[in-house]
Amino acid sequence: RKEVEQDPGPFNVPEGATVAFNCTYSNSASQSFFWYRQDCRKEPKLLMSVYSSGNEDGRFTAQLNRASQYISLLIRDSKLSDSATYLCAVMWSGNTPLVFGKGTRLSVIA
Amino acid sequence: GAVVSQHPSWVICKSGTSVKIECRSLDFQATTMFWYRQFPKQSLMLMATSNEGSKATYEQGVEKDKFLINHASLTLSTLTVTSAHPEDSSFYICSANYGRDRGSSGANVLTFGAGSRLTVL
């Protein structure tokens, strides 16, 4: 069965902290990788795609390790507004649906 | 940007009734839409892939006679929960393939509707 695994957390960190999440996937032929953010009782919103060479968007950095089949998300200088559930998602190929991990809950504390 | 409109946002119904959820792509055509379900503190689980003009493809364990999917046009897909029971209470979300990521990933990007929270009494 194709799966995406994440540590559910919760991660409770103080403001300003750096926090990292990892996600593993089972299908080595997977083509596309994403991090989504989901607030309570809302739909997931795309945070960032994960590029093969790694990519950064402000305080957020995503990395892909194909050899070990995992992706990571690093959040620097955490803000209270970063509190949410972070879902990794993998697309096996082309026009296939996203397969989501269970999500990692982050709480940033003042 | 791409917008997927989903309604109703909330619905409460009695056990045994049927509920229809609509998902519309507002500014693009979606030949394929995906329907997900999310129980509390669980991940989004794919229920089915809706294909315009043809039958939907259901995931293992999802009853096609209970969850009727119709994708009659390039901008509209509907999910009908028939004879709903309390265990069907969940958050139902649709998504559509909008196109390719403008960055170097080149990946297909899915855009999501706002979700429909169903409570069956």
Among B108, B111, B112, select the one facing A95 at the smallest CB separation.
Answer: B108
Return the residue matching tokens 């089972």: A26
Q: Are residues A98 and B49, on separate chains, in Cβ contact within 8 Å?
A: no
- Give me chain B's average pLDDT, please: 89
User: Is residue B102 predicted with pLDDT exceeding 80?
Assistant: no
**Residue predicted with more confidence, A4 or B107:** A4
Model confidence at B104, in pLDDT bands (50, 70, 90)?
Answer: very low
Model confidence at B53, in pLDDT bands (50, 70, 90)?
Answer: confident
Kindly tell me the sign of the dihedral angle through the C-alpha atoms of B99, A97, A106, A41. positive
Which residues of chain B neighbour A49 with C-beta distances below 8 Å?
Answer: 101, 103, 105, 107, 109
3-state secondary structure of B86: helix
Q: Which of A91, A74, A83 is nearest to A107 (CA)?
A: A83
Among B42, B93, B107, select the one facing A49 at the smallest CB separation.
Answer: B107
Instruction: Give dist(CA B21, CA B94) in Å, integer.
Output: 9
pLDDT digits (tens, 9 = 90+) for B20-50: 999 999 988 888 899 999 998 888 999 999 9
Q: How much of chain A exceeds pLDDT 70, in percent?
A: 97
Instruction: Give dist(CA A106, CA A91) in Å, integer.
Output: 24
Which residues of chain B neighbour A32 with C-beta distances below 8 Å?
Answer: 101, 105, 107-108
Least confident of A68-82, A88-102, B15-29, B93-107: B93-107
Model confidence at A80, in pLDDT bands (50, 70, 90)?
Answer: very high
pLDDT digits (tens, 9 = 90+) for A15-56: 999 999 999 999 888 888 999 999 998 999 999 999 888 899
